[in-house]
């Protein structure tokens, strides 16, 4: 059974809640219209269709657009060797959706990362706390409105007090440039 066949079964079961599947390079993608029902859809994918693995859960920031975030769930079916991608959107005002950690325990850390880096909350999560940044850190560093040069922190002895991440981080590339060496990703100071 192909990923597209499995995605069609998902569409038949949920009707208008799930978009018609799109196929690209052997993978199928569907969009779940109501983020509040993502746990229900994921449970059917596991129990009804046999997608036993949640490979990844990521978020995309569409800063300036509404809804602001798209959550992407990458599922895998072991027997059919099939990939299925579920997408759903969350607005900035709500920025909350149900946890799927009760469906796939691996979602626990993925959801914690999405919360820590983007500020997206997952209701029903057993332990929703920061996983990378320290508790009490007031910002969400992977949001597009977070400056590349970082923000000063007023928390002495907790971490560094210079702008974080390291003045843009190690992978900030210079636009243009005369040669590849000038365009090479590197940590840069604001005047470089």
Instruction: Produce one character per residue of 10-24: b if its CB has 16 or more CB atoms within 10 Å, e if not.
Output: bbeebeebbbebeee
Q: What is the pLDDT of residue 170?
A: 47
pTM, two decimals, is 0.79
Q: Which residue segments constitute the domains of the chain, with CATH numbers given?
A: 3-139 (3.30.460.80), 147-192 (no CATH)
- pLDDT given at position 95: 85
**What are the pLDDT digits (tens) for 157-186?**
555 545 544 444 445 555 566 666 666 555
The C-alpha atoms of residue 153 and residue 158 are separated, in whole angstroms, by 9
Given this model, what pLDDT does residue 139 score?
A: 87
pLDDT digits (tens, 9 = 90+) for 27-82: 899 999 999 999 999 999 999 999 999 999 999 999 999 999 999 999 999 999 99
Contact yes or no for 14/41 (Cβ under 8 A): yes
């Amino acid at each position: 059974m192909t990923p597209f066949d499995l995605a069609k079964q998902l569409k038949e079961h949920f009707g208008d809640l799930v978009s018609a599947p799109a196929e690209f390079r052997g993978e199928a993608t569907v969009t779940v219209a109501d983020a509040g029902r993502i746990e229900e859809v994921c449970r059917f994918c596991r129990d009804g269709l046999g997608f036993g693995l949640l490979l990844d859960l990521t978020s995309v920031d569409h800063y300036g657009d509404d809804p602001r975030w798209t959550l992407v769930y990458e599922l895998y079916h072991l027997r059919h060797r099939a990939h299925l991608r579920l997408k759903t959107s969350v607005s900035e005002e709500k920025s909350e959706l149900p946890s799927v950690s009760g469906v796939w325990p691996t979602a626990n850390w993925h959801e914690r990362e999405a919360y820590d880096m983007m500020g997206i909350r997952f209701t029903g999560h057993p332990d929703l706390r920061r996983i990378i940044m320290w508790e009490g850190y007031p910002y969400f560093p992977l949001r597009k409105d977070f400056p590349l040069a970082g923000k000063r922190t007023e928390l002495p002895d907790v971490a560094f007090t210079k702008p974080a991440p390291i003045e843009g981080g190690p992978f900030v590339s210079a636009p243009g440039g005369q040669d590849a060496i000038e365009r090479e990703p590197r940590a840069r100071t604001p005047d470089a």
